Structure 1
Amino acid sequence: MELQFITLNDVRGVLNISAAQAYSLVRSGELRAIRVGGRGQWRVELTELNAYIDRAYRAAEAAIVDETATT
């Protein structure tokens, strides 16, 4: 069975960010996640992480275009 959900610690590793930054992405709604279990552990679906990464690439590309247009 293929892995569908990962922990925020896994997100942190994939994006090479701190645990606080990973939690902030979820808390802000930039990265969709669900809470599971009695302790409410956060889990991120891999498709959601990939969608976040795609959005981040598009935002970076738009910023580069904007910078180029204003120089």
Structure 2
Amino acid sequence: MARFLTLADVAEELAVSVAQVRVLVRTGELAAIQVGGRNQWRVEAAALEDYIQRQYARTRARIEAERP
């Protein structure tokens, strides 16, 4: 995997739309940098992996909280 990914690359990895990835970036849930011109964003592969791990942790916590 390349060090930097486009929002389209991230969307493909997560199986979501580019619009959904933009929301993650805009809300700060997924770290990204703006490069070049307008709407040119890049996400570092390590930042994507961190986001995925946080989502796993949130999911585990929610499942644990729902257990009787």
The normalised TM-score by structure 2 is: 0.94
Percent identical across equivalent pairs?
50
Q: How far apart in 1 are the matches of 2:36 and 2:55?
A: 30
Pairing of 1:9-24 with structure 2 (within 5 A): 9-24=8-23
Runs of 4+ in 1 over 2 A off after TM superposition: none
* RMSD, matched Cα: 1.2
Q: SS where residue 30 of structure 2 aligns?
A: coil
Shift in Å at residue 15 of structure 1? 0.3
Gaps of 5+ in 1: none
Q: How far apart in 2 are the matches of 1:60 and 1:38?
A: 36
The normalised TM-score by structure 1 is: 0.90
Aligned length: 68
Q: How far apart in 1 are the matches of 2:16 and 2:50?
A: 17
Shift in Å at residue 40 of structure 1? 4.3
Gaps of 5+ in 2: none
Pairing of 1:20-39 with structure 2 (within 5 A): 20-39=19-38
